[in-house]
Structure formats: structure tokens, C-alpha cells
């Protein structure tokens, strides 16, 4: 029996989604190497997945400095805007909806990926204990330099410009990436933020940048077309916090002032176990938010249906299942088996493991 509730239409912000199955943001490193530009192959990939209730694009750097990996797309140049336009047109032609995820990696980068070979920027000059991919191999991330207080306005403006570009590129909305140990998460957490200015110290100070950015984004897009992703209990990219419940309770309560389309949480370790440490609770954090909630991390069809039935979850973002199943929505609807994901083709490369996963229809016709 299929899980009917997944196919109940839902209003997210001011968008009507035909189902509650969202395609999660997924880094695939397949932009054109020259200029980090999205192209036809990416348009084909997203269009294949347009039956999702909503697609969240892969994380896309808001500025050259915001880049942390080879071949990830940007949303800061005219060529990138034109490339993304191909993607949004292709998705819309198939009847879909797509938000772009706005990304600044902060310290999760390498000098070889930075403009002029400079050090990456971060709240504090502390290296992330993680690796990145520089186009040839995995390398330890470079020690960043701490952003000057006087640079914070520029960072906010880079997000603002990216939001304007996203509009020009034809997206239906934007998701602010504040998860997984990247720049905004580095500000939020006390292990990576040792600042003594207005952007460090207290929880209020550490989270200030997030709200300044949301304010700027809200001057470009209606709040109902803006979502935010957080990963309160994740340690992705070497991130940690001494009291994530207190930190993220503050963030989420304050988000209520913005009237956003949704709150999107990575529940547990990013791409890993859903189990939480003692004292941690996703349901408490969720209950603090007075708007729509997008759940993510390790969901299958049944777990998603159960979560939505409970009333706490409005939509569920699926990552890996959407990589291997362009027609995930149809497969869920028919309760059909799913394709296996090929881990060797996740990051980088061409059509193989990207646009060549078979639909159920193609399999039945063969």
C-alpha cells in the first residue's frame, strides 16, 4: 500500500506543492570547471526530478570566496545566472518548482580554490578538521583568516547579490544554507567562533550574522519564498557546540520573526545516524518554530509518512534516494523498488551516475 499522506498537496510559504516529497540539496560537482557554470547536463538532471513537490538545488557559492570544492556551481557571475536559467526553465517546463541553496563555505576551503590563492575566511583563524576536494585529490582544508568586523557588511551584501541573481535566474525561491559546518554554522557554534566583537561571544552575537542576512534576503524575496537549513546536532566538517539545544533554540525562536516558507533541519549527523546525544531533541526544536517544517536525514517512505502523520512534519527532503531515482515520486506512488545508488559517481564526472539512472517506466518498457 502506498503512503497516501505523501501525496497530499501542501502549501509551503505561498507555493502549492503537489506532494510532500522534496528533493534535498545535493552537491554533485558537475558544473563547468571554467567559471563554475551550470550547463545542459545539470538542466537535464534537475528536469528528470521535477515531479518532486519541490527541488532544493545543490549548494551554490554566493561569491568566489564562498567556494570550497572543485566544480561546484556559483550564483555570482552572469554566466552562472545564464546557466542556472537553463536549469530553472527545464524544471518549469516539466511542471516543477526549484529553490536555490545559497552557500558560503567559510573555512571549509583550500587556498588553491580561493581567488588569488588567498586564505579562506571564517569567524576565527581556526582550521576546520576536515578535507576538501581541490579537483585532483582530497586535501586538508587551509587555515582561514578571521573576518574583520568591517567586512561583515560585505558578506551580507554578497548574499543579497546572490539572492538578486537567483531571481534573475528564474528560481522560485531561495534556501539559506546555515548547516553542515559552513560559514554561518561556523559563526553559530562556539567551537569555531572565538570572536570578541558583536559577532562572537553570546548566542545572540554568534547568530547575529544569520539574521542580518535573512533581513537582506527579505528585501529581495518575499519571506514566503525563503527557507533556511540548519543541522543542530551534526558534526559535519569538524563543527561542534558546547550547548546546541540552547544555541539552536535561540536561532529557531528568532526565525519566527521572519515569516519564512519553512525551517529545514538535518536531523542527527549529516548523512549519518539519526540518533541524538543525550539532552538533544529535534521535536523540541521543531515545536519552537511556528511555521512549516521540512525534515531530512535518512528518511524512507514509511518513516516520512509516519512523521507527516504525526502532524509535526510538513514535508520530507530525500537526498540519496533522489540521486538514484529520478522518478522517486512515481516509485513511492506505486510502491515500486528503488534503484541502488552508485557511491563512486556521487561527486564529479559526467552523465554516468547522474542522468543515467533509469526510471521505472523505462525499465518496464525495456
To ligand 8OZ, the closest distance from the beta carbon of 29 in angstroms equals 8
The one catalytic residue among 182, 262, 293, 357:
182
- Residue 251: CB minimum distance to ligand 8OZ, A: 17
160 CB-side CA count, 13 A: 15
Handedness of CA 317, 318, 322, 323 (dihedral sign): positive
- 351 and 33 Cβ atoms separated by less than 8 Å: no
Q: With respect to ligand 8OZ, which residue has the nearer C-beta, 27 or 109?
A: 27
Q: Which is nearer to ligand 8OZ, 144 or 200 (CB)?
A: 144
Cα–Cα distance measured from residue 149 to residue 234, given in angstroms and rounded to the nearest whole number: 27
- For ligand 8OZ, the closer of residues 27 and 345 by Cβ is 27
The distance of closest approach from Cβ of residue 27 to ligand 8OZ in the complex, given in angstroms and rounded to an integer, is 4
Tell me how far, at minimum, the Cβ of 219 lies from ligand 8OZ, in Å. 25
Instruction: Please identify, using beta-carbon distances, which residue of 133 and 171 lies nearer to ligand 8OZ.
Output: 133
Footprint of ligand 8OZ (CB under 6 A): 27, 59, 69, 180, 236, 270
**How buried is 104 (Cβ within 10 angstroms: 0-12 exposed, 13-18 middle, 19+ buried)?**
buried
Q: Chain centroid to CA 103: how far? A: 8
Residue closer to ligand 8OZ (CB basis): 205 or 240: 240
Task: Tell how many helices (H) and how many strands (E) occur in the chain.
Answer: 11, 14
DSSP H helices, 219-260, are 244-255
- Rounded to 10 degrees, what is the CA torsion of 67, 237, 144, 174? 40
Cβ-based nearer residue to ligand 8OZ, 173 or 200: 173
Question: And the C-alpha cell for 221?
Answer: 524575496
- The kind and range of the H/E element at 324 are helix 320-324
Q: Which of 40, 57, 61 is closest to 49 using CA atoms?
A: 57
182 tagged catalytic = yes
The string of DSSP letters for 52-67 reads SSEEEEEEEESSGGG-
Taking alpha carbons only, the member of 187, 216, 302, 316 closest to residue 262 is: 316
> Which residue(s) pair with 121 in the sheet?
145
**358 Cβ contact list (under 8 Å, min separation 6):** 339
Least distance to ligand 8OZ, CB of residue 228, Å = 13
Catalytic residues: 182
Amino acid at each position: 500500500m502506498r503512503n497516501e499522506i505523501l501525496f497530499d498537496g501542501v502549501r509551503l510559504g505561498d507555493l502549492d506543492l503537489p506532494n510532500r516529497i522534496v528533493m534535498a540539496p545535493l552537491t554533485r560537482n558537475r558544473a563547468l570547471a571554467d567559471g563554475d557554470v551550470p550547463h545542459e547536463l545539470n538542466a537535464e538532471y534537475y528536469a528528470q526530478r521535477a515531479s518532486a513537490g519541490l527541488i532544493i538545488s545543490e549548494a551554490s557559492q554566493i561569491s568566489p570566496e564562498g567556494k570550497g570544492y572543485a566544480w561546484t556551481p556559483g550564483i555570482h557571475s552572469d554566466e552562472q545566472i545564464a546557466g542556472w536559467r537553463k536549469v530553472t526553465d527545464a524544471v518549469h517546463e516539466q511542471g516543477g518548482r526549484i529553490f536555490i541553496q545559497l552557500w558560503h563555505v567559510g573555512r571549509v576551503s583550500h587556498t588553491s580554490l580561493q581567488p588569488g590563492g588567498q586564505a579562506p575566511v571564517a569567524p576565527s583563524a581556526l582550521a576546520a578538521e576536515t578535507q576538501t576536494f581541490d579537483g585532483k585529490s582530497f586535501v586538508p582544508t587551509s587555515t582561514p583568516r578571521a573576518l574583520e568586523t568591517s567586512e561583515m557588511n560585505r558578506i551580507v551584501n554578497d548574499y543579497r547579490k546572490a539572492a538578486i541573481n537567483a531571481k534573475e535566474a528564474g528560481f522560485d525561491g531561495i534556501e539559506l544554507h546555515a548547516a553542515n559546518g559552513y560559514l554561518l554554522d561556523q559563526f553559530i557554534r562556539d567551537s569555531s567562533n572565538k570572536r570578541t566583537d558583536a559577532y562572537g561571544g553570546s548566542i545572540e552575537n554568534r547568530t547575529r550574522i544569520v539574521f542580518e542576512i535573512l533581513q537582506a534576503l527579505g528585501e529581495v524575496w518575499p519571506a514566503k519564498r525563503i527557507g533556511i537549513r540548519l543541522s543542530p546536532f551534526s558534526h559535519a566538517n569538524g563543527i561542534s557546540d558546547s550547548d546546541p539545544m540552547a544555541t539552536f533554540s535561540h536561532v529557531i525562536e528568532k526565525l519566527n520573526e521572519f515569516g519564512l516558507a519553512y525551517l529545514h533541519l538535518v536531523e542527527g549527523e549529516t548523512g549519518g545516524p539519526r540518533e541524538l546525544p543525550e539532552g538533544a531533541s529535534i521535536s523540541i526544536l521543531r515545536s519552537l518554530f511556528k511555521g512549516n517544517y521540512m525534515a531530512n536525514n535518512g528518511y524512507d517512505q514509511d518513516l516520512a509518512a509516519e512523521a507527516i502523520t504525526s502532524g509535526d512534519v510538513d514535508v520530507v527532503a530525500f537526498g540519496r534516494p533522489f540521486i538514484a531515482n529520478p522518478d522517486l515520486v512515481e516509485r513511492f506512488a506505486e510502491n515500486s523498488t528503488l534503484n541502488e545508488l552508485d557511491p563512486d559517481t556521487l561527486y564529479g564526472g559526467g552523465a554516468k551516475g547522474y542522468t543515467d539512472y533509469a526510471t521505472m517506466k523505462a525499465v518496464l518498457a525495456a
